[in-house]
Structure 1
């Protein structure tokens, strides 16, 4: 089975936009009336930000979320006109450009309010702001002890017509660990911090704390908006929570390569750097022309699973920068035969979660790390096409 002419002969990441649209519809149905934000940071978790953002909006996502302002501005430049929020700001960031592009921004500290004041005055329009509360994750966000000062400063800037506080938000530390005691503790603290802000006179349009695992499994955490990231792409937040199918989700990306070489070797033949694998007997080896420069994790050397000509195989020896080897056990599929590293699993191929287990990481990292020299090939681009 050979690649279609639309795909690279070396490798490609096939992205099924019908699956993405179906995932968004499933997540919206689970959101219990809350609006849905499709998070498209890090190039949509490696899937391609603009095509995936468009598909998510077509399926009903009211918001798009990014980490960096540059990611948000790129969405605007591509013509996406829904609500867009970005949250990872550093001093000197492009606040004015964000205001002029109608991008919602996040504020965790007083320095950001000060910079926003100047930017809003220069832009001649108020900034739309979400105040972030640190309810226990310990990353971004304002600590509870500093919250009154931040709320007071935000109220002053709002009274001056320089910002509009449209949201109060936070982020879970352990929502992907069902029953973890921090979940309810964070929810309680979030409610307290929202209540304080509202008592002081803020009227946020949206309160939001739910990420993918909370959107899927914690109805009490959904509030007005859920921020779904990895679930949009059909990946379960953790194997402990269940498989994608358990939530009605379908993996969106299939990573394929094309066999570059098949050759016979004798027993006792070392394979790849360090000879971590030696053939147990006479066999055939297949060369797969992708490696860690393409995002295939080197930590999966000797353990990474692949489907070659309908049969499951395992990476033999070390994964190199541009290639790895599989022991074909005497089979001789021709060069050009399709190799599937991961996909939805319909044809018995491994999934991103299988690669995560093999590499000792999480499925988020497996899809996000697929490099730029692997072309993305989009299928079911139009909403009429199966989704």
Structure 2
């Protein structure tokens, strides 16, 4: 077992995906972008497929091609490209690509020729994204009629098949926000324009994790679940579906030392002991993605970790390679386990706890962690801290090890 590592419970991912599929009753796209939200893209993708996920979703073409190279051959959507990207390899790999504009469709047409798709082979698979109010990627309402007209022309000449039409909510974790109904109405209007142009997509999809749980009317043919698939709640307190966090971040305690009252801790001396105490040194820091905001200015009120069955507060500034916790006079052995966050079943903090302290969202907590941490896979919550060889790094997929 490594001195500091990310432990990922694949059984938890499978359980979450199954639960989401059962709750929503439609096809599932498990989003595995950003290295599976920090959980490892290839292993997370396999777990999702094993749980019945019909689709996978990624942002970039590199992610899509890595999944294909890793052996995944199922339906796969890629949605974030730039003009310099060569789309030919992903089209040749039978990946669905997303277009926002007529210019984007023209780039797909040119790439289809290079990939041997279209007139010289099977049509490319293309999905269209419409902007319904997020004002991010996607065609505006003004652009949409021209986009769907060009898309239909490409279908008629055999260049591509329009396999999907989709959009993305801005505030689905707040179900009472009127923006949700407005976006759903805008999506309906876009679908009507596409249908009038003759498009009949295989899937229409709008719902992300929060909408999949909170807004049944937005489920259409497919829901896209990223965060919830990894057991992190996109809308805490808003639903009754039990999700199981799949990630635990742990380290070995590097040092235990006593300090006197008046001793100050870490860079800037932002915390000073008011009484004699003991400190523990945890050998990871912001180089591993541990936010400096977790120290709450170095004083009281920062994040906590679990050491010796007790929550211990971070004291002083978080450094590049290490941070310090207050052991309150206790002297656990050096090498004892430190749990930064996990599912909470052993009393440890969760990623959501860290997000609240850092004034951010759990997405950021889990996706930024890495650096020199290794990643270890287990299969079942009870096995997360087992030390036997059945759960060693041989479970890592090629390219999955954090560096």
Q: Quick check: 1:295–1:370 contact (8 Å CA) kept in 2?
A: yes
Q: Quick check: 1:38–1:65 contact (8 Å CA) kept in 2?
A: yes
Moved over 4 A (4+): none
* Alignment-derived partner of residue 192 in structure 1: 189
CA distance in 1, matches of 2:57, 2:283: 34
* Alignment-derived partner of residue 268 in structure 2: 274
* Greater Cα shift, 79-88 or 114-123: 114-123
Is 1:30 aligned with 2:27? no
* Alignment-derived partner of residue 357 in structure 1: 356
SS at match of 1:353: helix
**TM-score, normalised via structure 1 length:** 0.94
* Alignment-derived partner of residue 159 in structure 2: 162
Is 1:180 aligned with 2:177? yes
Aligned length: 371
Q: Match for 2:244 among 250, 259, 271?
A: 250
CA distance in 1, matches of 2:126, 2:323: 48
C-alpha distance after superposition, 1:10-46 (max 9, x if no partner): x1111000011000000000112x1000000000000
SS at match of 1:254: strand
Q: CA RMSD in A?
A: 1.2
* Greater Cα shift, 116-125 or 292-301: 116-125
**How far is 1:362 from its partner?**
0.4
* Alignment-derived partner of residue 54 in structure 2: 62
* Alignment-derived partner of residue 326 in structure 1: 325
Is 1:13 aligned with 2:6? yes
Q: Quick check: 1:136–1:172 contact (8 Å CA) kept in 2?
A: yes
Q: Match for 1:222 among 211, 214, 219?
A: 219
Q: Quick check: 1:177–1:240 contact (8 Å CA) kept in 2?
A: no
CA distance in 2, matches of 1:352, 1:239: 13
Q: Quick check: 1:107–1:130 contact (8 Å CA) kept in 2?
A: yes
CA distance in 2, matches of 1:105, 1:291: 37
C-alpha distance after superposition, 1:159-217 (max 9, x if no partner): 11111101000000000112111000000010110111011100100000000001111
**How far is 1:240 from its partner?**
5.4
| Structure 2: gaps spanning 5 or more residues | 118-122, 381-389, 391-403
**How far is 1:317 from its partner?**
1.0
* Alignment-derived partner of residue 295 in structure 1: 289
Q: Quick check: 2:287–2:371 contact (8 Å CA) kept in 1?
A: no
CA distance in 2, matches of 1:217, 1:37: 17
SS at match of 2:12: helix
* Alignment-derived partner of residue 3 in structure 1: none
Is 1:142 aligned with 2:139? yes
Is 1:83 aligned with 2:108? no
SS at match of 1:71: helix
Q: Quick check: 2:175–2:215 contact (8 Å CA) kept in 1?
A: no
**How far is 1:251 from its partner?**
0.1
**TM-score, normalised via structure 2 length:** 0.90
SS at match of 2:250: strand
* Alignment-derived partner of residue 50 in structure 1: 42
